[in-house]
Amino acid sequence: MKKEAQSNIEAKAAKTMQKLVGQSMEREYNPYKDFNWSESLPNDQVWMSPELLSIYKVIPFDTIDDTQFMALCKWESLNFYSINVHGIRELLTAVLQYIYQPGFEEYSDYLNHFLGEENEHMWFFAQFCLRYGGEIMPYKRFRFDSSYPAEIQRFITFSQILIFEEIGHYYNKYMMKDSRLPEIVQSINRVHYEDESRHISMGKVLTEVFYNELLQKHSKKDMKKIEAYLVRYIQFSLEGFYNPTCYRNAGFKEPLKLRNRLLEHPERKAFHRTVLKHTLHFFEDRLGFTATINI
């Protein structure tokens, strides 16, 4: 890509980031004061939209008893928020290494807002887990290859942020409108959805900037390796929603076998494609990715 075209992309990104600064400054809620935390949540009410459960369209709900069904809703809800706690902590650590560094002069103002908002998200997701589940469920980390050159690590960091945010965004949008859920569940999903709309915009503009920088320095072979790495991250991210601990706690037999069965089921793969629709469109149509994603 010619320098002039890259400069145009960077100028557009800087303009977008300044717009996002203004939007963040107009936020009118305080998560530490505005949520209505009840002492407990009813066990006879779903804590997660049934259509988002990992068994949906694979194990008919009428084949399991109500107690087991409600338990699965509870534990998959806690798993979702635990994933967010762990994922946010990792992305905060990643972004902190770039703020106010050379190359980020036009972006650091918004990154301050991003870091502050993500810290708030981590807090209220952790509050949910600790108040209503008594724990933040463990989460296996994705092993990052630190041997990549700095410019590749930078691109991968913001690509992973974009992927992580967009997967959660799908769940947030569904649950914030679901009147079957407790009020606090709808509320935290609504707040997260609104903030993440800005974070996704940030992720897209920075990912595009850094990807086009890579095209000027790296071969097609190198770019294929980067694509393959992100494919593994997408697959890893989706697999986190199939936690055998949830199945075990809900009383399902052979939870590891159930997890493997679900991950390979055509209905679940179709659901994954729905969740990732916008993500894949961006990487394929805007960046030209061609790597095969077996989801």
User: Region 1-15: what's the mean pLDDT?
Assistant: 78
Q: Which CATH superfamily is domain 3-23+52-286 in?
A: Ribonucleotide Reductase, subunit A (1.10.620.20)
Q: 185-212 b/e with 16+ CB inside 10 Å = b?
A: bbbbbbbbbebbebbbbbbbbbbbbbbb
Confidence of residue 144 (pLDDT cuts 50, 70, 90): low
**Cβ neighbours for 187, distance < 8 A, ≥ 6 positions apart:** 35, 36, 176
Q: Is the pLDDT of residue 122 over 80?
A: yes
pLDDT per position as a tens digit, 151-210: 999 999 999 999 999 999 999 999 999 999 999 999 999 999 999 999 999 999 999 999
Band of the pLDDT at 9, cuts 50, 70, 90? confident
Average pLDDT, the chain: 93
pTM, whole model, 2 decimals? 0.94
Contact 73, 53 (CB under 8 A): yes
Give the count of beta carbons closer than 10 Å to the beta carbon of residue 281: 10
- Name the pLDDT band for 286 (thresholds 50, 70, 90): confident
| pLDDT in the model for residue 291 | 65
Distance (Å, whole) CA 153 – CA 247: 36
Residue type, 288: G
What's the pLDDT score for residue 237?
95
Closest to 196 measured CA to CA, from 277, 278, 264, 114: 114
SS3 178: coil
Range with lowest mean pLDDT among 44-48, 206-210, 223-227: 223-227
Interatomic CA distance for residues 197 and 121, integer angstroms: 13
On the question of pLDDT at 220 being above 90, the answer is: no
Provide CB contacts within 8 A for 52, sequence distance 6+.
Answer: 76, 171, 174, 175
Residue 233: pLDDT over 80: yes
Which of these, 107, 90, 147, lies nearest to 10 by C-alpha position? 107
Phi/psi for 181 (5° steps) reads: -90, 155
Per residue in 235-273, pLDDT tens?
A: 999 999 999 999 999 999 999 999 999 999 999 999 999
Cα 45 from chain centroid (whole Å): 25
Write down the pLDDT at residue 196: 95
pLDDT at residue 118, rounded to an integer: 96
Q: Residue-wise over 249-277: b if at least 16 C-beta within 10 A, else e?
A: bbebeebeebbeebbebeebeebbeebbe
Residue 252: the pLDDT is 97
